[in-house]
């Protein structure tokens, strides 16, 4: 058995359209396959050695000469939706039977009116838009009037952009907390997101002070069960935001993927027992949403080049799980998330090699497997794969 699990989420690295992709308009999406196909000479030798291209649905990019060193499969999401919160919550064992609300035509008047009344700021924008585009469009008006830029996307988000010369990021966070209090129930979006930016008209730049304000998890998660059992739960990246701090014993926010990887490596060297849970967001945030196939590929190469160090830093009693939370195919016309299977890779001493688990029903099987390892009773969704991934004694 393992004394520690390390989950690394490659945010948005999907591996093929889900069975219900047509419901979401995502037929044909396959994030990883299309990055390979759209980037000449692209390879991920270390992830390939683990088995990522041996996952069902990736036959076109598979190197049959590679014998995977892990147990691997593709995870099928049972929850409704294709956003960050839904994906991470299901990974932690929660099922969302109804998707978070979305607002392709902007938020209703009553929501904006209450936002303006409770925060004291006028809102401009109020439409679905690219974050970089809308600050160029409305940034100058925002500087002149002090009105906050409110916008959304195809995801269930209420985003607030503000220049740091107009409102400090700390005050913007307070405004977001007020918005979070407003957006409950019928209008309970998955996340309220602070989007600070700097610069001048024509050259505005978003800063690394983004902060997400999620809904509170609807019930106990993997993190709660581990914490209640006196285990360490280390949250790296935006994990603390996604779970509103619940079930976490230590949280470290990071600036980018490399910072997230280095922070994970540092935490792996500590004598923790329980869970290290890391999200690497740049695949999604910077490249997927901007349809940048080459940039997406370079970010994957960057992770792949650090993977040997991650594997060599593992203890004999560590279980490494590499997964994703949804897709965001940069090769399609859409700039939004895609409803896809996710890769699920189990690696560690005593884990079966070259072990294709095929389709793993429910992302929650990750949580069930970890809790089964720690012999913690729970009522989360999913199926434990512990007996399927451990070598026979």
DSSP track, 378-391: ---SS---HHHHBP
Is residue 210 a contact partner of residue 195, using CB atoms and an 8 Å limit?
A: yes
Is residue 273 a contact partner of residue 317, using CB atoms and an 8 Å limit?
A: no
194 pLDDT band, cuts 50/70/90, is very high
What is the token pair recorded at 102? 């979305």
User: How many angstroms separate the CA atoms of 362 and 31, rounded?
Assistant: 19
Q: How many residues does the chain have?
A: 393
pLDDT at 87: 97
What is the token pair recorded at 177? 């907390």
Domains along the sequence of the chain with CATH:
4-97+218-389 (3.40.720.10), 109-214 (3.30.70.1250)
Kindly give the residue spans of alpha helices, DSSP state H, lying in the chain: 31-38, 45-50, 84-91, 109-119, 131-145, 169-182, 222-228, 239-242, 257-268, 282, 293-313, 365-373, 386-389
Helix/strand/coil for 132:
helix
**What is the number of H-type helices and E-type strands within the chain?**
13, 14
Residues 6+ apart with CB under 8 A from 331: 34, 35, 37, 38, 291, 293
Taking residues 182-198, what's their average pLDDT?
96
Interior/surface letters 234-249, b for 16+ CB within 10 angstroms, e for the rest = bbbbbbbbbbeebbbb
Tens digits of residue pLDDT in 235-292: 999 999 999 999 999 999 999 999 999 999 999 999 999 999 999 999 998 999 999 9
CA atoms within 13 A on the CB side of 287: 26
13-17, 222-226, 288-292: segment of lowest average pLDDT: 288-292
User: How many angstroms separate the CA atoms of 179 and 213, rounded?
Assistant: 9
Task: Give which of 21, 97, 14 is closest to 326, Cα–Cα.
Answer: 14
Widest Cα–Cα separation across the chain:
70
Average pLDDT, the chain: 96
Helix/strand/coil for 312:
helix
208 pLDDT band, cuts 50/70/90, is confident
For residue 212, pLDDT beyond 80: yes
Q: In this prediction, what percent of the chain has a pLDDT beyond 90?
A: 95
User: How many angstroms separate the CA atoms of 389 and 353, rounded?
Assistant: 8
Task: Give which of 377, 324, 275, 383 is closest to 16, Cα–Cα.
Answer: 324
Is residue 220 a contact partner of residue 235, using CB atoms and an 8 Å limit?
A: no
Helix/strand/coil for 186:
helix
Tens digits of residue pLDDT in 104-133: 999 999 999 999 999 999 999 999 998 989
pLDDT at 154: 80
User: How many angstroms separate the CA atoms of 199 and 207, rounded?
Assistant: 10
pLDDT at 155: 84
User: How many angstroms separate the CA atoms of 132 and 148, rounded?
Assistant: 15
Interior/surface letters 29-65, b for 16+ CB within 10 angstroms, e for the rest = bbbbbbbbeebeebbbebbbbbbbbbbebbeebeeee
pTM: 0.92
Using alpha carbons only, what angle is made at residue 380 by residues 377 and 384, rounded to the nearest 5 degrees? 70
Residues linked to residue 162 through DSSP beta bridges, in sequence order: 196
392 pLDDT band, cuts 50/70/90, is confident
Is residue 201 a contact partner of residue 139, using CB atoms and an 8 Å limit?
A: yes
For residue 20, pLDDT beyond 80: yes
Tens digits of residue pLDDT in 318-333: 999 999 999 999 999 9
Is residue 363 a contact partner of residue 91, using CB atoms and an 8 Å limit?
A: yes
Residues 6+ apart with CB under 8 A from 173: 194, 211
Taking residues 30-51, what's their average pLDDT?
98
Is residue 189 a contact partner of residue 101, using CB atoms and an 8 Å limit?
A: yes
């Amino acid at each position: 058995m393992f004394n520690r699990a390390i989950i690394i989420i490659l945010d948005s690295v999907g591996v093929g359209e889900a069975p219900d992709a047509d419901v979401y308009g995502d037929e044909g999406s396959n994030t990883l396959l299309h990055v390979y196909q759209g980037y000449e000479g692209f390879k991920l030798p270390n992830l390939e050695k683990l088995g990522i291209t041996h996952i069902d649905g990736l036959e076109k990019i598979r190197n049959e000469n590679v014998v995977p060193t892990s147990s691997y499969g593709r995870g099928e999401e049972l929850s409704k939706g294709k956003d960050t919160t839904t994906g991470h919550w299901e990974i932690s064992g929660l099922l969302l039977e109804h998707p978070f609300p979305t607002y392709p035509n902007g938020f209703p008047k009553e929501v904006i009116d209450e936002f303006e009344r409770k925060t004291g700021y006028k809102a401009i924008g109020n439409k679905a838009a690219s974050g970089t585009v809308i600050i160029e469009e409305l940034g100058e008006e925002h500087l002149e009037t002090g009105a906050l830029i409110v916008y959304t996307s195809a995801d269930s988000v209420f985003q607030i952009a503000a220049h740091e010369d107009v409102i400090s990021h700390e005050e913007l966070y307070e405004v977001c907390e007020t918005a979070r209090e407003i957006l409950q129930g019928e209008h309970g979006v998955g996340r309220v997101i602070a989007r600070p930016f700097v610069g001048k008209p024509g050259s505005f730049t978003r800063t690394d002070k983004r902060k997400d304000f999620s809904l509170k998890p609807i019930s106990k998660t993997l993190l709660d069960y581990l914490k209640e059992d006196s285990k360490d739960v280390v949250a790296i990246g935006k994990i603390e935001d996604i779970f509103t701090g619940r079930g976490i014993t230590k949280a470290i926010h990071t600036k980018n993927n490399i910072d997230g990887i280095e922070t994970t490596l540092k935490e792996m060297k500590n004598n923790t027992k329980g869970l290290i849970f890391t999200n690497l967001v740049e695949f999604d945030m910077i490249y997927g949403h901007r349809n940048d196939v080459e940039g997406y590929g370079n970010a994957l190469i960057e992770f792949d080049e650090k993977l040997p160090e991650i594997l060599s830093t593992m203890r004999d009693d560590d279980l490494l799980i590499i997964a994703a939370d949804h897709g965001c195919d940069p090769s399609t016309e859409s700039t939004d998330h895609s409803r896809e299977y996710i890769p699920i890779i189990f690696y560690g001493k005593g884990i079966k090699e070259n072990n294709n688990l095929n389709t793993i029903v429910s992302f929650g099987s990750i949580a069930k497997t970890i809790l089964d390892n720690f012999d913690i009773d729970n009522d989360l969704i999913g199926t434990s794969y512990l007996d399927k991934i451990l070598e026979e004694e």
